[in-house]
Homo-oligomer: A and B are copies of this chain.
Amino acid sequence: MHPSSQAAVMNFLNEIASDFPSAISLAAGRPCEKFFERLSPEALLNSWHRYEHHFAHGTDLANARAQLLQYGRTAGIINDLVAQHLRIDAGVPASGDRLLITTGCQEALALCLPTLCPNFTDVLLVCNPTYIGATGAAYTSRVTISALPTDVDLASGIERSVAQLRRNGQQARALYLIPDFDNPTGRVLDESQRRAVLAVCIRERIVILEDNPYGAFRYEGQAIQPMAALDNAGCVIYLSTFSKTLSPALRIGSATLPDTLFGNRAARQTLWRALVQRKSFVTVNTSSIAQAMVGGILLDQECSLQRWIQPVVDLYRSNRDTMLNQLETIFSPLADQIRWNRPSGGFFLSIDLPFSFDARAVTECAANYGVAVMPMSFFALDKSQDQRIRLSFSAVDQQQINTSVAALGRYVAQQIGRNQRPSTEVAAGF
> Which A residues are within 8 Å of any B CB, using their own CB?
4, 6-7, 10-11, 28, 30-31, 33, 36, 39-42, 44-45, 48-49, 52, 65-72, 74, 103-104, 106-107, 109-110, 114, 133, 136-137, 139-142, 243, 247-251, 273, 276-278, 280-290, 293
16 A-B contact pairs sorted by A residue (CB < 8 Å): A7-B280, A33-B66, A36-B69, A36-B70, A70-B247, A71-B249, A103-B283, A106-B281, A106-B284, A107-B282, A107-B283, A136-B277, A136-B280, A140-B277, A142-B142, A287-B290
B48 touches A41 (CB 8 A): yes
Counting every copy of the chain, the complex holds: 2
Chain B residues near A285: list those with CB within 8 A.
251
A interface SS class = helix
Taken together as a complex, chains A and B put the C-alpha atoms of A276 and B136 apart, in Å, by 12
Taken together as a complex, chains A and B put the C-alpha atoms of A289 and B289 apart, in Å, by 10
Closest to A246 in B: B69
Taken together as a complex, chains A and B put the C-alpha atoms of A10 and B139 apart, in Å, by 28
A110 touches B282 (CB 8 A): yes
Taken together as a complex, chains A and B put the C-alpha atoms of A9 and B48 apart, in Å, by 31
Closest to A39 in B: B69
Closest to A36 in B: B69
A41 touches B36 (CB 8 A): no
Chain B residues near A140: list those with CB within 8 A.
114, 277-278, 281-282
Chain B residues near A277: list those with CB within 8 A.
4, 6-7, 10, 136, 140
Taken together as a complex, chains A and B put the C-alpha atoms of A65 and B36 apart, in Å, by 9
Chain B residues near A41: list those with CB within 8 A.
45, 48-49, 52, 65
Closest to A287 in B: B251
